[in-house]
């Protein structure tokens, strides 16, 4: 059964060969032996850097089920997910991940694309992204400054009061 779901993720990825604005990263979310969500990387087409195959499959599954939790579901993807996709999987409760290509395979793919056209060059590798995301906020390369904490704490309190 695993082979069937991975084959579908790769089939979705293959759609990118002939679909403008997409990249060959496809994914499916599976629960109780059924595909409940599918996604293809549409970052360029949607002008949305979060439109990765895994995130799109999760969005599709959540919409179909009218839920924001996919606890216990599995995710099959054509490529080892980036940190953003992994964080999204944890956020919704994906239990198991199955992937075809490794992060090194994806890096080589983008290097070959960028050699032909610099627009495909990545600002960071998946490994660099993982390292930065895992650091405490004050240790990351991206500057960060906390502001107006009291204001948001008041909003949190108002929300709790209106919903309990």
The catalytic site residues sit at 54
The DSSP secondary structure of 107-155, one letter per residue, reads HHHHHHHHHH-GGG--SS-HHHHHHHHHS-GGGSSS------HHHHHHH
The DSSP secondary structure of 14-25, one letter per residue, reads HGGGTSTT-EEE
CB atoms near residue 44 (< 10 Å)? 14
The partner residues of 98 in beta bridges, in order of sequence, read 76
Cβ atoms 16, 43 nearer than 8 A: no
**Helices 103-116 and 126-134, interaxial angle, to 10°?**
120
Residue 61: name the closest of 24, 35, 42 by CA.
35
Beta carbons within 8 Å of 10's beta carbon, 6+ residues apart: 26, 78, 100
């Amino acid at each position: 059964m695993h082979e069937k779901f991975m084959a579908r993720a790769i089939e979705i990825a293959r759609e990118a060969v002939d679909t403008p604005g997409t990249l060959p990263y496809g994914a499916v979310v599976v629960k109780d032996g059924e595909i409940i969500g599918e996604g293809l990387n549409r970052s360029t087409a949607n002008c949305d850097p979060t439109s990765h195959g895994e995130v799109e499959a999760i969005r599709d599954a959540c919409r179909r089920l009218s839920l924001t939790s996919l606890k216990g579901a599995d995710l099959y993807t054509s490529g080892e997910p980036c940190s953003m996709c992994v964080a999204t999987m944890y956020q919704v409760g994906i239990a198991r991940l199955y992937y075809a290509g490794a992060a090194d395979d994806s890096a080589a793919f983008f290097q070959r694309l960028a050699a032909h056209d610099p627009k495909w060059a990545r600002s960071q590798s998946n490994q660099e992204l993982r390292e930065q995301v895992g650091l405490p906020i004050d240790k990351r390369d991206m500057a960060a400054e906390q502001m107006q904490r009291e204001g948001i704490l008041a909003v949190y309190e108002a929300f709790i009061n209106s919903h309990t």
